[in-house]
Each structure stands twice: as structure tokens, then as C-alpha cells.
Amino acid sequence: MSLPFSVDSTDGLARCGSLITKHGKIDTPTFMPVGTAATVKAMMPSSIKETGAQIILGNTYHLMLRPGASRIRDLGGLHQFMGWQGPILTDSGGYQVMSLAQLRKLDDDGVTFRSHIDGSYHRLTPEKSIEIQLELGSNIVMAFDECTPFPISEEDAEKSMLLSMRWAERSKQSFEDQAGYGLFGIVQGSVFESLRVQSAKALLEIGFDGYAVGGLAVGEGHEKMMGVLKMTLPVLPADKPRYLMGVGKPRDLVAAVQNGIDMFDCVLPTRSGRTGQAFTKRGEVNLRNARHSNDPRPLDADCSCPACTQFSRAYLHHLVKSGEILGAMLLTWHNLKYYQDLMRGLREAIKNGLLGEFASLFNQEQKSGDIAPIK
């Protein structure tokens, strides 16, 4: 087994375990900060580690365009290039080709597109995507797929899913198996149960080190998302990690863990940090709001990040309103710490058989909202 995975504790459908890679152990459930272009924006690698993150995500599409996968390979691989020595997962580039690239032309073999950076022409196929990810030195490589848009007809969703399954088989054939590295397949099929089940079974026949649920967080909403998990996860093997791609609202994370998901990634905590939004146990806090301008309290008294232990809400408000870089750095650090603390809390709750109580308290506190200062 290239990527040993063990489930050590369960609570209902939820699992707590570990995934072993060449670059270290990953405790699950886990959240991966997104380092799209070989950097988690506004964070040093050492700062990322201090939040508790064990694995980060890079992206094939962005790195193939700039600075180029072969350049990164020649400079020692992505770990050396970006100064992160922990595990790295790379997205295959399929989603970015669909969402960012210009003049996209899709065919059964792959996709031709123009770069959103300079308009240059490029082509990605399952073979090329895997080649690039191997050049980067990714610990977890993702199969090349088409991210099905939403809403979509069942007929079109089936065509898209079947294309992704053909690409998944070619991705598997192109992958070079080695200890500490692995390849994940991606379940597609939009919100249609028969298609999701068909996709999951097709991936099982091919055989992967882990299985991702893709094509969600594209506008379908929380209830439909959870419905897709309920119809998909029972088909996936219990002895392999399950990864919910691109999903990142705290409410979604808790509910997805309750349904049996082990891994997550999302740009939400870092993007929000750069726009003045913080995540706390009492919900989201907008530091642009004038009510914070004279507030001497910490952002979250229970958080140990620098934003909360060293500065007041008033100062954070000042930084955000002034457009200071430090504001983005501190709030990004805080948000990533919040997400890692949430994951750690979920793991502990599962180990102790208290996930139901944990989720109930989480939802209660989130609904209570941020407490305004006493005047």
C-alpha cells in the first residue's frame, strides 16, 4: 500500500485516523490550507505549521503556467521550492481549466485552453496532468477530471461523469507507484444518486489510494451537498481516505465529518482573512465594521494565535480599514488556526465518542453570534 491509512476511532459514521506519506503523518479529519501558486497567501511556511496544519495543497494549473513544473523539478521539487517539508496534495488542474482558462476546447482526449495570465495556448490531458504532478513531487496526486457545473441536466451530468471516469483510468495508467506517494480518484455525477453511485463503483474498479468527492460547493447548497455525501460515501471503501474537495464553511466541515469525510481543502479561510473577515466559535466577524473601532477585547479570547493574543479588535479594525498588509497576515493566521482547532476538536470528540455533543454545541455557538462590546 503506497499510502498507509488507518481508522483508529469511530463515532457513528465519523472516523478518526491517520494517513502516512513520505513527508510525514496526517491526522484525520484534516483541513488543508490552499497554497495554489506554491504559497499559502500571507503566510510563512513556519507560520502555517504553527497553526497545526500538517498538509497543504498546490495546484497543477497555476504551477504549470508559472513558474513551470520542470523549473520546480529542477530546483528540487515543490517541497524544496516553497520551503514546506510536510505533505503536499496537488489538484489536477481540471477545475481551474474550467473556471479560469480562456477559450476552453474540450474533447475526449483532454482540453486545450488559453492562459488567463498571458493568453498563451496550453493543453492538459490526464497523462500531462499526472506528469506535472509527479514533476512537482506531490505526495497525493489527483486524477484529472472535469468538474461538473451546477445546475446541470442529468443527461449532461452523465456525459461529464463518464468522461471523468475515462480520464481517471488514464490517470491511473500514467501514475508511477512509490512508497509514501499516492493517487486519488474523484467521484463526479452532480446531485444525481445513480450517477454518483456509478462513478464511485467505476473508480473502485480502477483502484486508488483514496477517493475524493468532487463537483460540490458550486452552488448546490448545504442540504444538497450533504445529500450527495449520504448517497456516495456508503459505496466507498472504509479502509481508504475520503476527501471532500473545495468545501470549507465550518458548518459544512462538521456535518461532512459526521457523514464520514476525512479530508478537506478550501480557499475560504485565507481569502476571508485578506478581506477582513474572521471565523470564530460564535460565527463570522467582519473587522471592517465600525463597532470594532474602540473595542479593546481580543478577537477570540479562546484562540492562541498572534492576532488574538497580542492585539485588540480595535487594532485589527484599524489595519483592515487602512489596507495594511499586517491585517491580512494576522487574520489569515487566525482563520487557519480556527480551522485547525476545529479539526482537532472533531478528532478528540470522535475518539471520546462525543461527536454528537460537540456538533450540537458548535451549532449552538455559531447561531449565538458575535457578542458586541458593553458600553
Q: Is 36 in the same domain as 144?
A: yes
pLDDT for 1 equals 55
pLDDT for 86 equals 98
- Residue-range definition of the domain harbouring residue 343: 273-365
> Residue 130 sits in a domain of what CATH number?
3.20.20.105
Q: Would residue 118 show up in a list of annotated catalytic residues for this protein?
A: no
Q: Is 283 in the same domain as 357?
A: yes
Peptide bond just before 298 cis, omega within 30 deg: no
Q: Is 106 in the same domain as 24?
A: yes
Q: Would residue 341 show up in a list of annotated catalytic residues for this protein?
A: no
Q: How many CA atoms lie within 13 A of 158 on its CB side?
A: 7
Q: Is 256 in the same domain as 287?
A: no
- For the chain, which ranges sit under pLDDT 50? none
Q: How many CA atoms lie within 13 A of 153 on its CB side?
A: 3
CA distance 185 to 171: 9
Domain closes at, from 215, 238, 266: 266
Residue 372 is assigned to a structural domain of this protein: no
Phi and psi torsions of 186, nearest 5°? -125, 120
Query: Beta strands of 256-320 (E only): which ranges?
Result: 263-266, 277-280, 283-286
Q: Is 204 in the same domain as 292?
A: no
Q: Could you report the per-residue pLDDT of 253-295, keeping only the tens digit for each?
A: 999 999 999 999 999 999 999 999 999 999 999 999 999 999 9
Residue 288 is assigned to a structural domain of this protein: yes
Q: Is 286 in the same domain as 261?
A: no
Residue 373 is assigned to a structural domain of this protein: no
Structural domain tally of the chain?
A: 2
pLDDT for 375 equals 62
pTM score = 0.97
pLDDT for 372 equals 77
pLDDT for 37 equals 95
CA distance 9 to 107: 44
Residue 321 is assigned to a structural domain of this protein: yes
Q: Is 217 in the same domain as 283?
A: no
- Using DSSP's 3-state secondary structure scheme, residue 153 falls into coil
Residue 296 is assigned to a structural domain of this protein: yes
Domain closes at, from 266, 287, 316: 266
The single residue of 11, 209, 265, 341 carrying the catalytic annotation is 265
How far is the CA of 284 from the CAs of 54, 281, 338, in angstroms? 24, 8, 11
- Per residue in 279-317, is it b (16+ CB within 10 Å) or e — as a string? bbbeeebebeeeebeebeebbbeebebebbeebbbbbbb
- Using DSSP's 3-state secondary structure scheme, residue 272 falls into helix
Q: Is 328 in the same domain as 224?
A: no
